[in-house]
Amino acid sequence: MAIQKKIPLRKCVATGEMLPKKEMIRIVRSKEGEVSVDITGKKSGRGAYVSKTIEAVNQAKKKNSLGNHLEASIPNEIYDELIVIIEREKLK
């Protein structure tokens, strides 16, 4: 009997669905209040996860769910960067 490895689940701040961590992108706010996209998932700071879909990114932008979760204002460049990352992953 093989023991199944537990897959870490995270909640998307836009859609509210629980998905495996690998299917999400982490956005992090550092102690200095700097918001950045955390591709490695290992940066220190307060993190929020968004599903790797353009719909989820647009929803997060519209509802400002990232801003509310991280208690910071999210620059538009962050959303643009998320969309670029998602588009790049689709090409793989």
The CATH number that applies at residue 20 is 3.30.1230.10
Q: What is the pLDDT along the chain (92 residues), one digit of tens a residue?
A: 567 788 899 999 999 999 999 999 999 999 999 999 999 989 999 999 999 999 999 999 999 999 999 999 999 999 999 999 999 988 87
Q: In the prediction, which pLDDT does 5 show?
A: 81
Q: In the prediction, which pLDDT does 1 show?
A: 58
Q: Could you tell me how far CA 21 lies from the centroid of its own chain?
A: 9
Flag whether 71 is in a domain.
Answer: yes
The terminus-to-terminus CA distance of the chain in angstroms comes to 34
> Structure pTM?
0.88
Domain that residue 58 falls in: 9-91
Flag whether 75 is in a domain.
Answer: yes
How many structural domains are present in the chain?
A: 1
User: Is the Cα torsion angle 53, 54, 58, 61 positive or negative in sign?
Assistant: positive
